[in-house]
Structure 1
Amino acid sequence: MRKHLARILDSPLFNRSDRLRRFLQFSVSAALDGDSERLKEYVVGVEVFDRGPSFDPRIDPVVRVEARRLRARLQRWHDTEGRDSDIIIELPRGGYAAEFRLRDKQGHNAREQHAEKTIAVLPFTNLNADPELDYFMDGLTEELIHALTRLRGLHVVAWPSVSRLRGEDEDLAGIGEKLNVENILRGSVRRSGERLRMTAQLINVANRHYLWSEAWDRAAVDWLVIEQEIAQAIAEKLRVDGRLPRDTAPQRTTVDPETQTLYLKGRFQWNKRTLEGLRAAEAYFRKAADRDPDFPLAWAGLADTYAVMATFSMAPPAATMAAAKDAAERALALDASSSDAVTCLAFVRGEYDWEWQEAGELYRRAISLNPGYMTAHQWYGGDYLAVLGRFEEAIRELETAIRLDPLSSIVLNTRALVSMVAGDYEDAHRRYQDLVEHDPWFFMGWSALGRLYAQMSEYDLAIEMFQKARAMAGDFPKILGALGQTLGLAGRTHEARGVLRFLDRVSQTQYVGGTSFALVHLGLGEHDEALSRLERSVEQRELAIVWLKVHPAWDALRSEPRFNSILQRVGLCDSLP
């Protein structure tokens, strides 16, 4: 084993990284010496990375950062230079002691023959040097990604992750390592009036060889045709099945330029996932649908927008969820193969209608239509399986979503949430810490970390996290509710009541779900008031209600008959497929 370790350490992937060499050597030696139990985050920080005795892993993420790098580097070594090795060394998630196993050569060879090809489509470059056209480049890239996900045997990284790598397209090796892909598609677009001049290149990450390149000079109305030509070329060059299943083939290949522009502007705004962005997206998608009522993508965009508005509690759920359902059904009437629309309809049927069996069937249909559609896996895992308490299945779906979108803060946040509601606070803590380090401006990560600290009775830390989230997001009712509950649990009664009064004032000008009030009352020990608020939330079909069965924030009410009556009304007491 030590000879195998020496081979790894002397390889080009490791011989220039002193940090990773020290970490791997320390980890392997501890495992071989039977000292694995000692390898906690603090010990690694002090003994490998020379942190002093005051090292606090909650503040300094060096060990977690380097562990992620080491895992990725080891996997890369075993897949390339070490592919002939009989031994595999791994660093398991959630731990720092190396583990060893023998490679299954027969299974490995079979997997190599049938393995999915992997690709990332980088944001196309805007050659117009006009930031007003960024929406077009981003929208075109995202739609191309969506087209590629329909190809069998091709793993395509989702838009949110590749969008974070804008401007890094010269560092192909770094992108390949971050996204765990073998191939990269990049290109450029110049728009002149109603004409598109477009180039695309398919590049192998390992050797930087160009596998294919092409250029187009077409009418802008042909953008969907160009997408299909690119998808077909990639299928041929990567030797994947370029045939689309009969029920997933797109029904339209042309759309007038103005409708196209409105739709792409809508997607550009939707991807911001901000309150202002969602309002702008709604307006653009609505204009596109009004201009061309037979354009299914506009209706699918509207459905997505209303669904996310509902999760942000931007309006009473009766308004947003009914609109989401109507738009999804309009999209499906025009294109029955729209996995986006099926996914959105599944979300409505579960989160709002509480028709859980039908929701599950719809999610599975969406995934069968397009296994590469990340949001279907994310919502099926996080908004269906998890709320029903089916945590192992939820984790499998969310791990698939992470593989499709490895840098998405929203997906990483959902995965950590499932660990928390499943009772694995240690894993949830590690994941939330990694998340806020990966994306320090993602307010949901700080708020979620605050909820975890509150469950761990670390009230001061929890309050600090909520205040950070509030500084970024403003007076978001969900943050205020969690903050008020924690203040009450910490004995800061006066401040908790101040949050109740503030929520009441906010509710005079915007929608505030009853669960935010209920949490504060619960933190103050006022169970009857909390239950009354929850009962009103059930009447309004507030989306947060579906988490009552599994979220530990409500544990103090589980012995209350009124609480169990609420669970029964929402359909959370039944076993569902």
Structure 2
Amino acid sequence: MEQQDQAGALLRGILSSPQFAQSRRMQRFLAVIVERALAGRTEDLKEYTIGVEVFDRPADYDPRIDSIVRVEARRLRRKLREYYAGPGKKDAVVISLPEGSYIPRFSGLSAPAAAPPALTPCPRLAVLPLETVPGSPDALMLAGALTDDFLASLARIPGLLVVTRSSTLRFSQPGRDLKSASAELGVDWILEGSLRRAGDGWRLNVLLAECATGFARWSASFSAGAVQLQTLHEPIAREVASRLGVPMPVPAGAASDSDAALSAFRHLLEGRHLMLQMTPRSLRRAAEAFRRATQADPMLAPAWAGLGGSMLLMSIFGDTAPTMVATEARGFLQRALELNPELPQAHVWRGFYHATYEWRWDAAEEDFLRALEINPNIFMGRVWLAAAVYAPLRRYGEAHNQLSLARGLDSASPVLHALEGLLAAQTGDLASGLRLLRAARGLSQTFYGAHHLEARVLAAHGDFQHALDVLEEARPRAGSDPRNLALIACLKARLGQTEEASEIAVSLRKTAEHAYVSVYDMATVYANLGDLPTAAACLMQAYSEHEPWLVYLRQDPLIRPLEGTPQYAEIERALFSQSEE
């Protein structure tokens, strides 16, 4: 009790320290939990109660959907660590807030923040695409849906590392060599099978093979209708988990037995496939497919999450203004979380929204980490945590760690290679960065984001002509994409080809009269042409419209001419001050 009395006496000093003096919300949070703990009222220190009484949430507040308390608790832990590393270094009593609890301790130093859940190194499993009879679109679509189902169920199993589908697609041809596939994918086990017509229904054969010996450890056959087959992914995943000696969590729910459910799942699968291509056209088509899935089955939470995520990406890699999609996308993600608060994809995309559209870095990190807590094998969760949170905040070590873990999930992803290359270049390893970026260009016939990033890396090192050559290579893929043209204009301006650069700027202005052209991109064009007043005005407009590319303001070499302007300083403070409090 004496120690707790000391803690109460020290509280005033903590609240007036530099770490807390400028944040009334943090002061209130810490004061409430300390005072109630000292009074023995720890039963009040629940997430719901704190949300309502400290953060003024309404009575119908749902902590599963609104993460405000978890987000602020992370900030509080960080501020306490900073306080005790500085002005509170000699305090007799240390107040800490343990991870996963809102009841403070009054003893030793607070434990370091828990690291994101690490991937279990083994066993490693690849699910190969189901073989079908050539020339049967229905079989191909259903086989893809079943393969995706198997992956989703198996990826939820703690202690099992499952290679993502994009890495296994190249093994979709009949007669594949399992030994070569296992060596190339670096896995210990392979689940493969086939799907064939059987009368009015289908016959599904599955086999689990041990790569080291080549022996089958389990096999089974199922005959059923298409919808009934889609209910088999949980029992098959459970059997695989049993054979591999890893426990499987309770399934989240069974699929509905209806034609609408099958139609919805087909559209969901189509949307996911299109979303991975990351081009303006593919993202637009992905959103349409996800929307059809929600219409066929309004209770299908992954479809709502996919719809929200694809719309958010449309204003980064697509041709849609953020003002046209951001609010609607946020509503779709909210709907997904209402249907399934534990859906990792919904947390990933809400984290992406918090980072790139709201610049709420703590809330973004909280959502990403929650997604990875639910499913450590979610590839895009690790990729976007690195790219949308850690890299913009210059937390490069954490970004590298997440991308390394993502590589264990999908080593063939062009997006991953491109981001790894950019990060390597930004942290001083230009040779490795360029090697990875060039490898990314060869991994996809449609994705040209790697060309953009490589051009920016080259521009950052003054190699403007080489950067321009890279973009010219992307023209067959990029077409008249305004982002590509804006980058070409910047490079031409830096090479002294100002007349051609100015012509592109005029052309982009005309395009903006009837289609979306990023005003952030226009800011870079005018900045490199030397028209700083126009560039600064465009940058302020990009800020007012919450253009997502602003998160890379501090890393973009093409915006550097504006660094000394008041507008640049104002926006930098607005975007990053919260993360540096």
Superposed pair shares fold, TM > 0.5: yes
Stretch deviating more after TM superposition (320-329 or 227-236): 320-329
- Mapped to 1, the partners of 2:229 and 2:171 lie a distance apart of 24
Matched-pair contact (CA < 8 Å) for 1:136–1:261: no
Q: Tell me the equivalent position of 1:400.
A: 405
Q: Tell me the equivalent position of 1:86.
A: none
- Mapped to 1, the partners of 2:318 and 2:444 lie a distance apart of 23
Matched-pair contact (CA < 8 Å) for 1:363–1:380: yes
1:262 aligned to 255, 264, 281, which one?
Answer: 264
Q: Tell me the equivalent position of 2:193.
A: 187
1:124 aligns with 2:126: no
SS at match of 1:575: helix
Instruction: Give the AA of the match of 1:431.
Output: L
- Mapped to 2, the partners of 1:275 and 1:373 lie a distance apart of 24
Q: CA deviation at 1:133?
A: 4.3
1:354 aligned to 353, 359, 365, which one?
Answer: 359
Cα distance change of structure 1 residues 479 and 358 upon mapping to structure 2, 3 Å threshold: same
- Mapped to 2, the partners of 1:350 and 1:501 lie a distance apart of 32
Matched-pair contact (CA < 8 Å) for 1:421–1:551: no
- Mapped to 1, the partners of 2:501 and 2:235 lie a distance apart of 59
Q: Tell me the equivalent position of 2:577.
A: 573
SS at match of 2:397: helix
SS at match of 2:571: helix
Q: Tell me the equivalent position of 1:390.
A: 395
Q: Deviations over 1:156-213 (max 9, x none)?
A: 0112211233227622232223221111111122356973321111112232211111
- RMSD, aligned CA: 2.2
1:523 aligns with 2:528: yes
2:470 aligned to 447, 465, 468, which one?
Answer: 465
Cα distance change of structure 1 residues 297 and 575 upon mapping to structure 2, 3 Å threshold: closer
- Mapped to 2, the partners of 1:304 and 1:144 lie a distance apart of 22
Q: Tell me the equivalent position of 2:219.
A: 213
Q: Tell me the equivalent position of 1:511.
A: 516
2:284 aligned to 276, 279, 299, which one?
Answer: 279
Instruction: Give the AA of the match of 1:304.
Output: G
Cα distance change of structure 1 residues 511 and 352 upon mapping to structure 2, 3 Å threshold: same
Matched-pair contact (CA < 8 Å) for 2:198–2:223: no
SS at match of 1:250: coil
Matched-pair contact (CA < 8 Å) for 1:286–1:302: yes
Cα distance change of structure 1 residues 276 and 259 upon mapping to structure 2, 3 Å threshold: farther
Q: CA deviation at 1:436?
A: 2.5
Q: Tell me the equivalent position of 1:198.
A: 204
Instruction: Give the AA of the match of 1:267.
Output: L
SS at match of 1:475: coil
- Mapped to 1, the partners of 2:197 and 2:453 lie a distance apart of 43
Cα distance change of structure 1 residues 427 and 563 upon mapping to structure 2, 3 Å threshold: same
Instruction: Give the AA of the match of 1:355.
Output: R
Q: CA deviation at 1:115?
A: 4.6
Matched-pair contact (CA < 8 Å) for 1:515–1:544: yes
Q: Tell me the equivalent position of 1:289.
A: 294
2:415 aligned to 387, 399, 410, which one?
Answer: 410
Q: CA deviation at 1:438?
A: 4.0
- Mapped to 2, the partners of 1:407 and 1:253 lie a distance apart of 31
Q: Tell me the equivalent position of 1:556.
A: 561
Q: CA deviation at 1:408?
A: 0.6
Matched-pair contact (CA < 8 Å) for 1:138–1:268: no
Segments of structure 2 that go 5 or more residues without pairing to the other structure are 1-119
Aligned residues with identical type, % of pairs = 25
- Mapped to 2, the partners of 1:282 and 1:343 lie a distance apart of 17
SS at match of 1:152: coil
1:171 aligns with 2:177: yes
Cα distance change of structure 1 residues 575 and 286 upon mapping to structure 2, 3 Å threshold: closer
Q: Tell me the equivalent position of 1:225.
A: 231
Q: CA deviation at 1:282?
A: 2.5
Cα distance change of structure 1 residues 514 and 191 upon mapping to structure 2, 3 Å threshold: farther
Q: Deviations over 1:144-167 (max 9, x none)?
A: 212111111111011221123322
Instruction: Give the AA of the match of 2:147.
Output: T
Q: Tell me the equivalent position of 1:151.
A: 157
Instruction: Give the AA of the match of 1:379.
Output: W
- Mapped to 2, the partners of 1:345 and 1:436 lie a distance apart of 29
SS at match of 1:202: strand
Cα distance change of structure 1 residues 410 and 334 upon mapping to structure 2, 3 Å threshold: same
Instruction: Give the AA of the match of 2:256.
Output: T
Q: Tell me the equivalent position of 1:235.
A: 241
- Mapped to 2, the partners of 1:438 and 1:470 lie a distance apart of 17
- Mapped to 2, the partners of 1:461 and 1:440 lie a distance apart of 21
- Mapped to 1, the partners of 2:406 and 2:318 lie a distance apart of 24
Q: CA deviation at 1:523?
A: 1.6
- Mapped to 2, the partners of 1:191 and 1:543 lie a distance apart of 47
Matched-pair contact (CA < 8 Å) for 2:131–2:172: no
Instruction: Give the AA of the match of 1:301.
Output: G
Instruction: Give the AA of the match of 1:316.
Output: A
Matched-pair contact (CA < 8 Å) for 1:480–1:516: no
- Name the TM-score, length of structure 1 as normaliser: 0.75
- Mapped to 2, the partners of 1:279 and 1:122 lie a distance apart of 28
1:492 aligns with 2:500: no
Q: CA deviation at 1:260?
A: 2.2
Cα distance change of structure 1 residues 149 and 266 upon mapping to structure 2, 3 Å threshold: closer
Pairs within 5 Å for 1:40-119 = 115-119=121-125
Matched-pair contact (CA < 8 Å) for 2:361–2:578: no
Q: CA deviation at 1:564?
A: 1.2
